[in-house]
A and B are shown apart, each in its own frame.
Chain A
Amino acid sequence: MLPDTVHKLPREERFAYARLLAFMARVDNELTVDEMAMFEQRLGTALLSPPQRKTIRGALKNPPSLEECLAEMGEETGRLALRDATLMAAADGSVDDDEREVLNTIVEHFDLAPDSVDRLLEWTANGYLWMQEGYDILNEISE
């Protein structure tokens, strides 16, 4: 929910980005509330139209193939999608092997640095720590 550039991407690419996140949400065949909240947050950031969002929510039930999603994304969109797919994969507290494999496939498709996933996972963990600090401040206020 911080300043981002996803909303500046071309409309079709934002749609492809959201389809990839829908794919990611279903990789381990379970959709947790944490993942759903992250997914809805990212759809909001992408400023998709309400009909597009409806279509994307439908993609959660019937996810597209990863290859389809990747084929529709340009370089910048792919990189942002990798970042946000990492956030989604970690949203429930762990990244399983299937999710990791998808992240690696995105890295290979866009010819990114081999350590990209590790770096983004570390970045994600730092982000969740930052969120926790926000709760801690609010808790201190309540005391």
Chain B
Amino acid sequence: MYLDLAIDFAQEDVKGYAEIMVIVASADGTLVKEELAIIEALMGRCMMHPEMRVNIRNSLEKPPSLELVISKLNPVVLKIALRDAILVAAVDGEYDDSELKVIKTLAKAAGVRKKELSALFEWVKTGWEWHNESFQHLGLV
């Protein structure tokens, strides 16, 4: 029930997917703890090998080129990476212009149109609201 499509990615695709998350998180020049936490969570969700996670963490200081990573990924991986890149960009509370630029580049490479991209942004907003409800249920607000 919980399984995400990312769990079926080939190892090389998982690497590229995680690199895209790193590129988005680093796009605005600052890395906040929330961004680190979501990248770790996404790497965990696709059950990435611990050694590969070390390489991804090391790339946070010097992320790879977006174009290079995109060129190695197939459209399915790109679409899932696009969806999760929006989550990563949203996690610090606002979309920075540099993050939006990465997202638009990804959308173009994945063949995602403006209307569909808007639907993904709306989906992230809905998820954010859903998640915040948990704090109300727990009496943590």
Contacts and interface: CB of A to CB of B under 8 A. Distances in A.
A138 B111 CA distance: 11
A73 interface: no
A45 B37 CA distance: 5
B126 to A, nearest CB: 6
Contacts of A46: 37
Interface size class of B (residues with CB under 8 A): 35 or more
Contacts of A123: 130, 133-134, 137
Interface string A1-26: 11111111000000000000000000
B41 A37 contact: no
DSSP majority for the B interface? helix
A37 B123 contact: no
Given A2-B87, A5-B140, A47-B40, A37 B3 contact: yes
Interface string B68-87: 00000001100110011001
Contacts of A130: 123, 126-127, 130
A133 B137 contact: no
Contacts of A71: none
Contact of A1 (B45, B76, B111): B45
